[in-house]
């Protein structure tokens, strides 16, 4: 299972939100590059980088930070937030993203995402399937679509995508444990999926359980910044 620390960006700084609510913003590190370099020092090889400004404004904003991290570390960065157009996905890849996560756009413009799968290859795209009560949440989680996560993910697996990040919005930033039941159901209903858990992870025990469930990866954010999980512990898992 891939161990994937997260850095969320607002105004070029490292922050965390609770349930995606911007009013709960808490800043942890003024320079995300310093944080990324710390991850690298502990043997971590992957990074989940989210442009929260981009998600709000509908275009990539923090690409310079992506560029700095990609050029000054060897971390494999998956980048999301504000990916809404050919221009935005081009900026993300040109700034050093190894993979790009497509979320809201995968609901709003399925044809465009299908073009990207063909153009960039499924290995460079990740489907963002964020969930509220088993239905897809989009637009920074401010809107819930009348479409079940299972149908949504299955559609894109059939289009050629394999890797899916799924965040249960109710769990995000709560440090109460990930949505084990949701992931178990997704894995049982959909074949050929590389499922990455995100949201609520609070301990090494949570990570061990996700590993036993055969998750492809786990994204850890607040638990690192709040000292619930030490980088040394993640290093040992890696």
* pLDDT tens readout for residues 30-84: 799 999 999 999 999 999 999 999 988 999 999 999 999 999 999 999 999 999 9
8 catalytic, yes or no? yes
Under 8 Å between Cβ of 74 and 47: no
More confident residue, 138 or 149: 149
More confident residue, 195 or 236: 195
Q: What is the pTM of this model?
A: 0.94
Assess whether pLDDT exceeds 80 at residue 6.
Answer: yes
- Specify the range with the lowest mean pLDDT, choosing from 19-23, 96-100, 112-116, 153-157: 19-23
In CATH, which superfamily holds the domain spanning 2-237?
A: Aldolase class I (3.20.20.70)
Residue 199 in 3-state DSSP? coil
Assess whether pLDDT exceeds 80 at residue 194.
Answer: yes
Our separate counts of H helices and E strands in the chain read: 11, 13
pLDDT of the residue at 178: 97
DSSP state of 168: B
164 sits in which H/E element: strand 163-167
Span 168-189, pLDDT tens digits: 999 988 899 999 999 999 999 9
DSSP state of 61: -
Assess whether pLDDT exceeds 90 at residue 29.
Answer: no
151 catalytic, yes or no? no
Span 74-84, pLDDT tens digits: 999 999 999 99
Percent share of the chain, pLDDT over 90: 85
Q: What is the largest CA-CA distance in the chain?
A: 43
Assess whether pLDDT exceeds 80 at residue 141.
Answer: no
pLDDT of the residue at 205: 97
Residues 6+ apart with CB under 8 A from 198: 6, 48, 165, 166, 167, 172, 178, 218, 219
**8-22 average pLDDT score:** 85
**Torsion sign, CA atoms 131, 137, 141, 144:** negative
Residue 48 region, left (φ>0) first, then alpha (ψ -120 to 50), else beta? beta
Task: Please give the Cα distance from 71 to 66 (Å, whole number).
Answer: 8
- Quick one: 49 exposed, middle or buried, by C-beta within 10 A (0-12, 13-18, 19+)? buried
Q: Which of 51, 78, 130, 172 is catalytic?
A: 130
pLDDT of the residue at 143: 80
């Amino acid at each position: 299972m891939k161990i994937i620390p997260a850095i969320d960006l607002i105004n070029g700084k490292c922050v965390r939100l609770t349930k995606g609510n911007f009013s709960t913003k808490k800043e942890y590190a003024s320079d995300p590059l310093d944080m990324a370099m710390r991850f690298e020092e502990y043997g971590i090889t992957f990074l989940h980088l989210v442009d929260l400004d981009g998600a709000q404004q509908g275009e990539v904003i923090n690409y310079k930070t992506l560029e700095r991290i990609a050029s000054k570390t060897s971390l494999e960065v998956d980048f999301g937030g504000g990916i809404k157009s050919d221009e935005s996905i081009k900026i993300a890849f040109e700034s050093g993203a190894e993979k790009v996560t497509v979320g809201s756009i995968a609901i709003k413009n399925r044809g465009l995402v299908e073009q990207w799968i063909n153009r960039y290859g499924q290995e460079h795209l990740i489907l963002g399937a964020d969930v509220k009560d088993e239905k897809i949440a989009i637009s920074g989680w401010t809107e819930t679509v009348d479409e079940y996560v299972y149908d949504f993910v299955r559609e894109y697996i059939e289009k050629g995508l394999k890797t899916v990040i799924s965040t249960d919005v109710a769990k995000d930033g709560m440090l109460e444990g990930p949505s084990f039941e949701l992931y178990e159901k997704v894995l049982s209903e959909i074949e050929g999926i590389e499922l990455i858990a995100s949201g609520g992870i609070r301990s090494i025990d949570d990570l061990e359980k996700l590993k036993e469930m055969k998750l492809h990866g786990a994204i850890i954010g607040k638990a690192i910044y709040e000292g619930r999980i030490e980088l040394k512990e993640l290093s040992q898992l890696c």
